Chains A and B, each alone.
Chain A
Amino acid sequence: MIVETGHFALILAFALALAQAVIPFAGARLGDGALMRVARPTALMQFLLVALAYGALTYAHVVSDFSLVNVIENSHSSKPLIYKISGVWGNHEGSMLLWVLVLSLCGALIALFSSAMPAKLRADTLSVQGLLGAAFLLFILLTSNPFARVSPAPWQGRDLNPILQDPGLAIHPPLLYLGYVGFSIVFSFAAAALIGGRIDAAWARFARPWTLFAWISLTLGIAMGSYWAYYTLGWGGFWFWDPVENASLMPWIAGTALLHSAAVMEKREALKVWTIFLSILAFSLSLLGTFLVRSGVLTSVHAFASDPERGVFILAILVFFIGGALALFALRAGALPVGGLFAPISREGALVLNNLLLTTCCATVVIGTLYPLALEAITGEKISVGAPFFNTVLIPIALPLALLMPIGQMLAWKRGDLSAALARLRAAFIIGVAALAAFGALQGAPYLSVAAAAVAVYLVVGSLSDLAQRANARAAGPRAALARLLGLPLSVFGTAFAHAGMGLTLLGLAATGWGVENITTMRVGDYADVGPYKIVLEEMAARPGPNYSESYAVMAVRSNGQTVARIEPAKRFYPARKTARTEAGIVTLGLGQVYAALGEGHDDGSIDARIYYKPLVTLIWIGALVMALGGAFSLADRRLRIGVARRAAAPALPQAAE
């Protein structure tokens, strides 16, 4: 009964989404306030109904209701509770339901927190959001129904893919979807602005917090997914340039470009057309990613759906929304007034350059991801575009971008002074060169790692220099400096931290070139050297888990004769699916990690082991956290909040410009 209620709620949500798409839109055209006000309750109710449906599916998973196909195929009564809950989105149908849940959440958030927006813009935004919801709800109802029953019900389910039985699954998809789908808000904003034909700095001020919100979630989601891959796949790879990963990277790059151009639009009313375009692009790339992952057009580790009917349906949604938005853009963009002027050497100019380089990266990733598909479709020839391609073409763009980031941060708006900006970065340059010499002397080859690490150090120092100088400028003593520092707008901290975080990630990436590995066969009592550590295999044993059995090894990590840590790499066997997975033994020492994974066992009691020392590797993810923190600072900026509140107090202001 609960399951049927969920199914029914989903159908109701679809009907409401249609109403949300049509009625407020008509209201905005007719200038009818009552019709426009329909947007808010329908958006909230749509979210509640989808949440109800989602709750019903979760309930079925938690109580192991094996009359549901979805539960049979992805669950098992002995599966731990957390994986029963997170397993809901560990399959195609549930994952699409989560997608729509986040989409309707976004609609509800707009409905709740947009009272300061002009009524028409708000009605149109929610109407576009409703149309998106209707399209995807229809997709679920017609092609991916998670509530399908089967009779007779089997006694037991087939269990969730063991790779997905991991805390990573509990965190990674929700965060990723908040980011991915969060860009729908900005997309709807842009479409609504184009429909209404009025785009100004106030629009950017409404859109920017949502862009930040989506960007922060996506940053954390990608980082989380990458760490998950790192510790589960058994050899410490963290990014594979897999099309499914690229699907999340493309909107991230576009979103990063959007954050920067929206800043220009908000401050200087320039780059309006471009900002609108990026707003459409970011979510369009999310849709493209969803198509790639969900249609089965590429079969990869992540894709657990392959059904042409679904593919065609998503493709239709994709064409309708991207095509529609771009057509609207083409119709209206020409009529937008040209914004504020600026000299090429200025903060705006730097942000334009940033956008040029980021867009180039984004285009490269898109083309690299789609090229094999297109080539095969056109000529039938199969090629592979893998990590070597992406590294080769993107590193020459990414490193100059990293060099330019602190410089842009130092330039003034409107007209900047390049030599003054460079002078303010003197310390960063000196420390960067010192780092180059130090890394070169201490670590040596590969030289690209040395160069990238030096750029990374420069980037971190350069990003924070702005803060240091603003605090210290002519300040008398540390107390005054601290007072100045605390008095700075939070968005200044936001920029500094986000850029420094990028530097930390780059340093972690560079240091992968200095990793050490030891692939060897060991017996109890044997040791293996890896980097500065000696790894001793102390014990091998077996133990049962909740729904698996595990054989594990205890290894002591020794440094200068002292045991500094013990790790327990393991191999797990899941009888329900008759599959095994390796569980790496990892310990963080300083910023680096020792990582061990078990391979084949041999008859004589020895076992193959792969042991790695990865210096500075944690910085890859710490950097992402710092970037997200920077985003959070910007989001919390007083000026952004006051901007909104003021408009709430005086709603006549934005309308006066109409």
Chain B
Amino acid sequence: MKRALKILALAAALLAPLGAQAVEPGEKLADPTQEARARAIATELRCLVCQNQSIDDSDAPLAKDLRMLLREQIRKGASDKEARDYIVARYGDFVLLRPPFKPETLLLWGAPLIALAGGALALWAAYRRRRVAAAPAALSAAERAKLRALGVEEGEG
């Protein structure tokens, strides 16, 4: 499960619009692997003074400061998590474009599952109700007598 989530996260990051309005040539780290890691993390961090832009996309000065801060950590050998935590420790969860799992965000992350399960349950209930409603009504005593008179056993035909 954890691995699947990781793959999804990676995939989502890669599928997201390739951002780089703002990354300037001079900012790039010398090591291309480190630079790629920094870019991946930057697409998930919010530029706090802009609305809905990652620091990777934004050309605001604050976004540049954050990018420098992030690259500084990566260059010093911090892991992805350490580098991200370093920024979050200073700017709070608001900086994360992917909200962290915690009690307050349970409903948010659970929303698709709840909607899907709730919908499926409602469908199942409706389907059963309809089948009951549509099932042929049992024969009345008079109808049974009529059938017997015609020489047909119940359940036949």
Interface residues of A (CB under 8 A from B): 233-243, 298-301, 338, 341, 344, 352, 356-357, 359-361, 363-364, 367-368, 371, 375, 379, 381-389, 391-397, 445-449, 452, 509-510, 512-513, 515, 517, 519-521, 597, 599-600, 608, 610, 612, 614
Q: How far is the CB of B120 from chain A (nearest CB, A)?
A: 6
Contacts of B30 in A (CB 8 A): none
Q: Which of B84-107 contact A (CB under 8 A)?
A: 92-99, 104-105, 107
**CB atoms of B111 and A367 under 8 A apart:** yes
**CB atoms of B111 and A364 under 8 A apart:** yes
| Docked CA distance A127–B131 (Å) | 39
Q: How far is the CB of B14 from chain A (nearest CB, A)?
A: 4
Q: How far is the CB of A366 from chain B (nearest CB, A)?
A: 9
**CB atoms of B19 and A235 under 8 A apart:** yes
Instruction: Give the contacting residue for B111; candidates A363, A379, A396; CB below 8 A.
Output: A363
Nearest neighbor of A367 in chain B, beta-carbon distance = B111
| Docked CA distance A560–B24 (Å) | 29
Contacts of A236 in B (CB 8 A): 17-18
Instruction: Give the contacting residue for B93; candidates A301, A383, A388, A512; CB below 8 A.
Output: A383
**CB atoms of A386 and B97 under 8 A apart:** yes
Nearest neighbor of A238 in chain B, beta-carbon distance = B17
Among listed B47-55, B73-81, B144-152, interface-contacting one: B47-55
New contact pairs (9) apart from A382-B94, A517-B20, CB-CB < 8 Å: A234-B21, A356-B123, A364-B112, A382-B93, A384-B97, A386-B46, A388-B98, A513-B15, A520-B25
Contacts of B19 in A (CB 8 A): 235, 237
Contacts of A341 in B (CB 8 A): 130, 134
Q: Is B119 engaged at the interface, CB distance under 8 Å to the other chain?
A: yes
Nearest neighbor of B4 in chain A, beta-carbon distance = A396
Q: How far is the CB of B15 from chain A (nearest CB, A)?
A: 5
Q: How far is the CB of A349 from chain B (nearest CB, A)?
A: 9
Contacts of A513 in B (CB 8 A): 11, 14-15
**CB atoms of A384 and B94 under 8 A apart:** yes
**CB atoms of A240 and B53 under 8 A apart:** yes
Contacts of A356 in B (CB 8 A): 116, 119-120, 123
Contacts of B123 in A (CB 8 A): 352, 356
Instruction: Give the contacting residue for B97; candidates A388, A395, A599; CB below 8 A.
Output: A388
Contacts of B68 in A (CB 8 A): none
**CB atoms of A512 and B15 under 8 A apart:** yes
Which of B7, B53, B112, B134 has the most C-beta atoms of chain A within 10 angstroms of its own C-beta?
Answer: B112
Nearest neighbor of A341 in chain B, beta-carbon distance = B134
Contacts of A299 in B (CB 8 A): 51
Chain B binding surface SS class: helix
| Docked CA distance A393–B9 (Å) | 10
**CB atoms of A449 and B21 under 8 A apart:** no
Instruction: Give the contacting residue for A391; candidates B16, B28, B104; CB below 8 A.
Output: B16
Instruction: Give the contacting residue for B104; candidates A352, A375, A519, A608; CB below 8 A.
Output: A375
Contacts of B28 in A (CB 8 A): 519
| Docked CA distance A510–B118 (Å) | 30
Nearest neighbor of B48 in chain A, beta-carbon distance = A384
Nearest neighbor of B50 in chain A, beta-carbon distance = A301
Which of B15, B53, B96, B130 has the most C-beta atoms of chain A within 10 angstroms of its own C-beta?
Answer: B15
| Docked CA distance A513–B44 (Å) | 16
Q: Is B13 engaged at the interface, CB distance under 8 Å to the other chain?
A: yes
Given contacts A392-B8, A446-B10, contact A610 B133 (CB under 8 A): no
Instruction: Give the contacting residue for A367; candidates B13, B17, B23, B108; CB below 8 A.
Output: B108
**CB atoms of B107 and A371 under 8 A apart:** yes
18 contacts between A and B (CB under 8 A): A338-B133, A356-B123, A371-B105, A385-B108, A387-B17, A387-B43, A391-B16, A395-B8, A397-B112, A445-B14, A446-B10, A449-B14, A510-B15, A513-B11, A517-B18, A519-B20, A600-B24, A612-B18
Instruction: Give the contacting residue for A383; candidates B16, B24, B105, B112; CB below 8 A.
Output: B105
**CB atoms of A448 and B11 under 8 A apart:** yes
**CB atoms of B21 and A233 under 8 A apart:** yes
Contacts of B99 in A (CB 8 A): 383-385, 389
Which 10 residue pairs across A and B have the least CB separation, nearest first? Answer: A386-B97, A448-B11, A237-B17, A391-B12, A388-B98, A235-B21, A300-B51, A446-B14, A363-B115, A367-B111
| Docked CA distance A600–B130 (Å) | 67
Nearest neighbor of B95 in chain A, beta-carbon distance = A384
Contacts of A612 in B (CB 8 A): 18
| Docked CA distance A512–B98 (Å) | 20
| Docked CA distance A240–B52 (Å) | 7
Contacts of B127 in A (CB 8 A): 344
Q: How far is the CB of A573 from chain B (nearest CB, A)?
A: 15
| Docked CA distance A235–B93 (Å) | 26
Contacts of A241 in B (CB 8 A): 52
**CB atoms of A610 and B21 under 8 A apart:** yes
**CB atoms of A359 and B119 under 8 A apart:** yes
Contacts of B116 in A (CB 8 A): 356-357, 360, 397
Contacts of B10 in A (CB 8 A): 446, 448
